[in-house]
Amino acid sequence: MAKFTPRQRKHKHRVREEEERQKAAVKVGIQATNDANADVILPHGKAEKEEKRKHLREELRAAQPQSKISKKKQKRLDKYIDNKLKKEENLEIMKKLAAHKIDTSLLQMDDEDEGMDDEDEEEEGSDEEDEGEDSSDEEESEEDMANRVGEELGNVGKRVGYQIRFDGSTGEDTAVKFMTDGILLREIAQDISLPQYSAIVIDEAHERSVNTDILIGMMSRIVDLRRNLMKEDPKGADVKQPPVRISAADAPLEAEDLEIGDDKNPDDYDDGSDAESEIHGLDDEEDKEFEIAEEGEETPMLKVHVLPLYSQLPTKQQLRVFEPPPDGSRLIVLATNVAETSLTIPGIRYVFDCGRSKERKYDQTTGVQSFEIGWISKASAEQRAGRAGRTGPGHCYRFYSSAVYERDFQQYTEPEILRTPIEGLVLQLKSMGIHKVVNYPFPTPPDRQQLAKAEKLMQYLAALDDDGKITPQGRQLSVYPLSPRFSRMLVIGQNHGLAAYVIALVSALVVPDVFIPENLLNLAPAQEDDDHIRTHAENVEEDEREKRRRAYSQAHHKLSSLDSTSDSAKLLFALCAFAAETKKSPEDFASQWFLRLKALQEATQLRQQLTNIVRKENPRCGIATYEPKLAPPKKDQVARLNYIVAAGFIDQIAQRADLCPDITEVPKAKRATDVPYVTLFPSHERRGASADDPFVYIHPSSVLAHQSGKSLPQYIVYSHLQRAAPSTINAARTPKEYFNSICI
């Protein structure tokens, strides 16, 4: 029978890592002794540490039954004591740093030093007592990070704050502020010198998001004005800034490659004898008593407490992973790459990494988006492994060989600026006074043709003039934290007295996946053989499935009552109904209408934020105050809203193929999703004449997909193109390209 075989023995990793830690500790000690603050910031000396270790060992041993301890148990006891002392030492250092103005120059180390961890940072000190700031991509982690740092600093109250898109907690006493990169970019637009901050840390810079790349370029400009900025090195070969390496204080972490089917060396098989289930107290979050299992005593089989974790999961269910599992059970989290960075789940000791991820891909030439499953980067693999070594010793099992790792894994993830539309980036830089965007110091410059294409779109939206300079309307568009297309819709809506409806519509369009797809609800009839005889339980299950199918169809039919040909009107009606509901709980409402509660809540928050911005920028917009309830628009208002949507997506129009004079042969279709269309700027032109299918088709989730093929409109406004997943039956067949319709 096949089995998993570790490539290397664990004890070799332990010995090597222990030697590296000792070397690093010696180097830190040598440098620290020359610093003026060494007597204030440094932990206890070696003799005092040994005394504390001896006292703790005697205390723990006294609490155990009087029996002989094997060398293996003694080694694990020593490891527990070392981890406990290290945690207390780190907490003591952080409290000292918070209580005194400590000169942290002793943390600076030579870039050429060996034995350092891969946490690269660039630092310049400051004597000011302004705010330090940490920018991260993930909004959901900012509040948790602020609370965690506040606890580590001894519950300092309001000294640690955060600011995200919909919420914030800062005051006059705030000394450390966590914020998203988008918030920081807004502050730079107001004052590029950032006088309110004495130090800036760009967290997770190795992920190379678009906002991170802009910030890196901005920091290179601001550093000439302010010499006290600190920036984490993105670890990319394109970034030339010299880093200052700082050793981290993570717990020991081991990683192993696993292979299936190799039983030539049974001695290499790990029997799990040092599994966590045999040690109680590794998670000493509440300083639990350390217990040593008796020799030969059978360890009881623990129940498993399995929880999912992915981006579309409601926030309340996401937070369950941070709660302690029930007594006598082991926590298992099944997570997507949402848990790869900026998230530490307490108590996680083992990580199983498949080395794969599903990512949205963007073809910059054709503008087609697709979801593809592929290998992650080496940097992402290290991040995944690091999830197991945050709060204690950890272990990572990788379900791929070292050969695959070296051959198929890129060193770093491709920068986001090379795989997403960049029109928003161009407008943002233009509004900051950077006329020649091509000369901006990007860590990885985007393609010049893509920059020219983005500027052309800005001219279509009246944001730039013929010379590429930003127009007054372009400055209006840059005020809103949205894509220029949606900002254009907001400005036009204010001019036509539809500000409240356009704000709600844009909020619903920006938030993805408001509707739950039918295929995720398991509503399709069960596939059975012709001679299969159903049981009573199967009949009951099929009847229930049929009821759900009818309820799903009725719900979507009612949501489309404003305009049966407009997906944007359907979104607007859903958000209006959610805002007007008072009798049912939000959870029950979302369940009844087959909507994602988290998406509805995010759209509602964005609607409130945009309302406040519109009222501030245009007091005459006709909105006195924000009103949560919003009555559905009338038919004439829906028609005008469709025109406004078309103005924002003026270059994304699809025409029915049989109406094009230069297309002579059009395949016949019975279903709406098989009727061919061509785009105003055909996506197949640059792929060559050998493309199997040059047409695009209505997406199956659209309201138009349920109409007959003969009644489909001549022209359709769409939001984006999307390539279907490859066929599992016929891999040689070219996947269809769908367009996500908005209105006609």
| Residue 723 sits in the same domain as residue 736 | yes
User: Is the residue at 225 inside a domain?
Assistant: yes
User: Is the residue at 519 inside a domain?
Assistant: yes
Q: Which tokens sit at 165?
A: 């898109």
| Residues composing the chain | 744
| Residue 85 sits in the same domain as residue 145 | no
Backbone phi, then psi, for 132, in 5-degree steps?
A: -90, 150
Q: In what order do the strands lie in the sheet with 350-353?
A: 4-6, 253-260, 394-398, 350-353
Q: What is the pLDDT of residue 237?
A: 44
Q: What is the pLDDT of residue 572?
A: 93
Residue 401: CATH number of its domain: 3.40.50.300
Q: What is the pLDDT of residue 225?
A: 66
| Residue 66 sits in the same domain as residue 47 | yes
- Of 599, 627, 648, which closes a domain? 648
| Residue 33 sits in the same domain as residue 88 | no
| Residue 641 sits in the same domain as residue 501 | yes
Cβ burial, residue 561 (10 Å; 0-12/13-18/19+) = exposed
User: What's the domain range around 70?
Assistant: 38-101
- Of 420, 437, 454, which closes a domain? 420
Q: Which tokens sit at 105?
A: 């120059």
| pLDDT tens per residue across span 545-564 | 889 989 999 999 999 988 88
| Residue 544 sits in the same domain as residue 639 | yes
| Residue 555 sits in the same domain as residue 643 | yes
User: Is the residue at 171 inside a domain?
Assistant: yes
CA angle 42, 48, 53 (to 5 degrees): 110
User: Is the residue at 83 inside a domain?
Assistant: yes
Q: Is the dihedral of CA 402, 404, 410, 413 positive or negative?
A: negative
- Contact (CB, 8 A) for 566 and 642: yes
Instruction: Give me the number of domains the chain comprises.
Output: 5
User: Is the residue at 112 inside a domain?
Assistant: no
- Contact (CB, 8 A) for 197 and 184: no
Collect the ranges in the chain with pLDDT lower than 50: 1-8, 26-43, 94-137, 156, 228-237, 239, 242-249, 261-296, 684-690
Conformation bin of residue 688: beta by default, left when phi > 0, alpha when psi is -120 to 50: left
User: Is the residue at 329 inside a domain?
Assistant: yes
User: Is the residue at 303 inside a domain?
Assistant: no
Q: What is the pLDDT of residue 484?
A: 92
Residues in contact with 99: Cβ distance below 8 Å, sequence separation at least 6, in sequence order = none
Which amino acid, one-letter code, is at 495?
A: N
Helix axes 484-495, 635-648, angle to 10 degrees: 140
Terminal Cα-to-Cα distance of the chain (whole angstroms): 59
HSE-up (13 A, CA, CB side) for residue 201: 15
| Residue 640 sits in the same domain as residue 672 | no
Q: What is the pLDDT of residue 686?
A: 41
Residue of 562, 21, 459 lying closest to 248 (CA atoms): 21
Which amino acid, one-letter code, is at 555?
A: A
Cβ burial, residue 238 (10 Å; 0-12/13-18/19+) = middle
- Of 101, 131, 151, which closes a domain? 101
User: Is the residue at 281 inside a domain?
Assistant: no
| pLDDT tens per residue across span 77-96 | 777 777 677 666 655 554 44
| Residue 603 sits in the same domain as residue 678 | no
**What is each CA distance from 169 to 76, 128, 163, 464, 605, in whole angstroms?**
42, 22, 6, 37, 17
Residue of 343, 346, 304, 344 lying closest to 323 (CA atoms): 346
| Residue 570 sits in the same domain as residue 635 | yes
DSSP state letters, 77-105: HHHHHHHHHHHHHHHHHHHHHHHS---GG
| Residue 125 sits in the same domain as residue 207 | yes
- Contact (CB, 8 A) for 211 and 174: no
| Residue 123 sits in the same domain as residue 204 | yes
